[in-house]
Amino acid sequence: MFFVLLILGIVARTSYGLPAFLEVETSLGSVRGLQMQTRFGNKFWGFRGIRYAAPPVAELRFQSPQPVNAWKPMIFDATQDGPRCPQVTKNTTDLSEDCLRLNIYTKHVQNNAKKPVLVYLHPGGFYTLTATSPYAGPEYLMERDIVLVTLNYRLGSLGFLAAGTADAPGNMGLKDQVMALQWIRQHIVRFGGDPNLVTIWGYSAGSRSVGLHMMSPMSHGLFHRAIMMSASPLGAIRYRYNQTDLAERQARLLNCPANPTAVMIKCLKEKPMMAFVNTTEAMFEFEWNPLINWEPVIENDCGQERFLVEDPYKTMLNGNLNKVPLIIGTNEYEFYSPAYYNLRNETRRQRFNDNFATYAPLYFKYERDSHRSQRISSALYSFYFGNHSLEYPGSMKAFGQLYSDAIVGFNYYRFLKLVEKHVPVFTYFFNYKGRYSFFRNPETNETHGAVHHDELLYLLNFSVKAPIFRKSDPENDLIERFTRMWASFAKTGNPNKCQDEYLKDILWPTYTADRKEYLEIGSQVHLKTRGIFTERLEFWDNLFPPGEMLNTDVISKCL
């Protein structure tokens, strides 16, 4: 057996009572992985912290990622997590700009295994979180016959500073994801994966990323299915050609000149990594608002390969997409948690009561300081609150609905409504109230229901939030259904699998505009029609007609 593995470019080493290691040969050099086990004790191999791009430091800061240099004849040690990308965190010891790493989990390392590849893009608003194993553990999905890849991408100003110039065009974090997908296409076969059967799957900011990959020419041919959970890139904000205001704010915070732009960028390139981390909160306008601060941009043509060459609304309306089967969904109480803490705070509640039209656009991400903005704010106040003052706890339900619809619900519905004309779409509604959640009411210590991120607890081992669930736990059936549907979709483009013991009674049809079919996923699974929160989300759809969301500015030249 050792001889056969050696011929395949694979070397296995183990000693009784010690961890088992595996070395896989790639064109870049050998990669050493570690044997791990699923929640049921089944063995698989983990290759963690593999560098997929050159460290984006010095002159490469704010630039498109560059290919990683080969490390042979050295062996790349991928037996533990790599560093996290710079972000606000209590423990900063594992932060590094050399964070463009991916993790591969596989049961099959033969070249001819050709298993479906599921690539996970993590959430975090483009400024936080990571794909390291405490936040994206593989122990659930590796019960399925797939290869799982999770990856980091640059965040905050280091990943999305967009000055509209050649030295800082923007979208660096999204281009990192493209570079990772190119690495996967070239090397995943050595880890048992099929480069022609790649599914990109994202949550929140990762879901926005997936939607943009469906519209980016850079991503064409790099994936073959897509899964979008709790966000999309089409909402109530128009796309811009740069975020010079944000770049200049970063410059001021780090004592760099705001102009000329070339001097500003040169100064920012010389600042230490932790200077960006330590000024993250100050980069937001007001108490970590707007919630989504760094945005993807339509790139000016400065001679670089551009991730977004036109307004995503234009791309979608013209159907000029990377057309692949899609799963897209949302959950019951998406942003109930920030709604709860803001409404319970008397000072913040009073701000909304005193000047809703000023604070609502900032919190809920739509245009500000215009007659149209005033009209939208008035309509929202009337629709959700009947023009009554906000009270705690009396307004909690309505305020939670407004927060959720503004940040997730509307952009989910907008993308679904437009994309179903072009690709087969399966949509779901998650409403499982579990023992563990990303929101627990501090007054009762009880979970409220399915809030933002909660679905991830049943697809990934999110060990910083919940224990690993076993077969005897009440979460088991949900994990089995979720992971089996996702694996089936990755393999066939269809989440249904009638011969599967957990899926045999589930019939999940594609979404149609007339019936609006969706799968309700809770303690049980039910097929429903007439759409999710249709009245509320149609209200938003009418407030922000797609044609009015197009950026009609003259295309900006490279600054």
The DSSP 8-state label assigned to residue 198 in this structure reads E
Q: Which of 452, 455, 480, 517 is catalytic?
A: 452
CB 194 within 8 A of CB 145: no
Name the pairing type of β-strands 525-528 and 425-430.
unpaired
Helix axes 346-364, 371-385, angle to 10 degrees: 130
* Six-digit token string for 500: 């599967």
Q: Find the helix or strand (DSSP H, E) in which 360 lies.
A: helix 346-364
Q: For 391-411, give the DSSP string.
A: -TTTTHHHHHHHHHIIIIIHH
Q: Among this protein's residues, is 422 annotated catalytic?
A: no
Dist CA 74 CA 420 (whole Å): 48
Q: Which residue has the tokens 């099929």?
A: 194
Helices (H), 420-475: none
DSSP assignment of 272-314: -HHHHHHTTGGGSSBTTBSSS-S---PPP-SSSPPS--S-HHH
CA atoms within 13 A on the CB side of 110: 5
Instruction: Return d(Cα 10, Cα 25) in angstroms, integer.
Output: 6
Q: How many CB atoms lie within 10 A of CB 140?
A: 25
Per annotation, catalytic residue among 133, 157, 204, 404: 204
Phi–psi pair at 249, nearest 5 degrees: -65, -45
334 is catalytic: yes
Write out the two tokens for 362: 């900032």
Helix (H), strand (E), coil (C) string for 58-95: HHHCCCCCCECCCCCCCEEECCCCCCECCCCCCCCCCE
452 as an active site residue: the answer is yes
> Which parts of 100-197 fold into alpha helices (H)?
156-160, 172-187
Judge contact between 158 and 152, C-beta under 8 A: no
Catalytic member of 139, 334, 420, 455: 334
CB 329 within 8 Å of CB 411? no
- End-to-end, the C-alpha distance of the chain in Å comes to 60
- Dist. CA 464–CA 477, nearest whole Å: 22
Do 491 and 471 contact (CB within 8 A), yes or no? Answer: no
Indicate the helix (H) or strand (E) that contains 480: helix 476-492
- And the tokens for 514? 């007339």
Residue pair 311/298 in contact by the 8 Å Cβ criterion: yes
Run of H or E including 363: helix 346-364
Pairing, β 43-51 against β 101-106: antiparallel
List 117's β-bridge partners, or say none: 147, 198
Show which residues are catalytic: 204, 334, 452
